[in-house]
Amino acid sequence: MQVNLHETWHIGPVEIPSRLVLAPMAGVSVQAFRRQGRRFGAGLVCSEMVSCAGLQHGNERTLGYLRIAADERPLAVQIFGSDPVVMADAAAMVEEAGADIVDINFGCPVKKVTKTGAGATLLDEPDRACRVVEAVASAVSVPVTVKLRRGLENGSRACLSVGPRLVDAGAASLTLHPRSAKQMYTGAADHALTAELVSLVDVPVVASGDITSRARAHVMVGRAAQGNPWALQEILEGDGVEPSREEVVAELVLFMRETVRELGEHRATGFLKKFYGWYLGRGRFPRAFKAELTQLATISEVEGRLLAAVPGARFVLSRLEETLPQADEVLLDLPISIYGGG
């Protein structure tokens, strides 16, 4: 059945203007990435996962994840942890910061998360997982959603037993990445399992994993959109036209500027290096040019080199910047020094 990806849908009272969701990705889903995703058609964007312990202890970098812009909403802020009380407190902070949805991560397979009892580990502790959802849902008035994997082991079907229990505990929507935690990102996502989960619950189920084109797309797009926001348009519209070099450079430079504003020059310098390859890859620019950019000492040097290579990008960039809200019109009440690390 072909789904109209432009149709609106709801998570509780929150209206989502398209059926395309931009996934939460660690080390990627900064505010600049989310705002770009909304411009390119994502109906819902998500923060990278936020440590509930970091919020509890007032860690400045963690608090920075609660810096929310009006033009990225609706926004889900994703939290992770295993203690119901601490998760509830974190959820209350997320709501107070202005998030439209609190998302709980029961899917992260990374060892530094699972060894704390959080992430995908909770699929093997369904009682605790349900207590976490109940505590979070009781602490906030916004909808609570859960992202999960199929289970810890290859072939696991734990999501089919745990998922309905999470809904009974208060989850207003589920996102399923139907790989096991052991698989990480290898192999293929088994979306037959997603279809089974849909038949078991009466809340929206978002499909995540291997969503790279319209043919595979309610869907969550992750790695396909890294440095390639045009993938979102392709999925929504079925239009696979490759962007011009001018468009690619303009979007990259805008993303760089927004990231510096968000993270500060020092943090942004290292953070952005992976994006040079993502934007300029796919045969768009020579490999040597991408490598050259990573060797430059400052972001201003990178910007200068990009605009020298593609002078026409300046005009595209100017048009893009005219369409963006001014920073003081979209930023809520957290000081920028928190996000920039001081």
Annotated catalytic residue, options 46, 108, 130, 159 = 108
C-alpha 184 chain-centroid distance: 17
Q: CA–CA separation, 135 vs 83, rounded Å?
A: 9
Please state at what angle helix 126-139 crosses helix 158-169, rounded to 10 degrees.
30
Residue 322 token pair: 């005219």
Q: Which residues pair with 219 in a beta bridge?
A: 20, 207
Tell me if 303 sits within 8 A of 256, measured CB to CB.
Answer: yes
**Cβ neighbours for 171, distance < 8 A, ≥ 6 positions apart:** 104, 133, 137, 144, 145, 146, 203
CB 199 within 8 A of CB 167: no
In the three-class reduction of DSSP (H, G, I as helix; E, B as strand; rest coil), residue 233 is classed as helix
State the virtual CA torsion across 254, 258, 264, 268 in degrees, nearest 10.
Answer: -50
User: What does DSSP assign to residue 175?
Assistant: E
Asked if 67 contacts 262 with a C-beta cutoff of 8 angstroms, the reply is yes
Eight-state DSSP code of residue 285? S
Tokens 């995703």 correspond to 37
Task: Identify which of 77, 74, 1 has the alpha carbon closest to the alpha carbon of residue 42.
Answer: 74
Residue with tokens 């997982």: 129
108 is catalytic: yes
Token pair belonging to 255: 């993303």
Residue 38 three-state SS = helix
Active-site positions read: 108
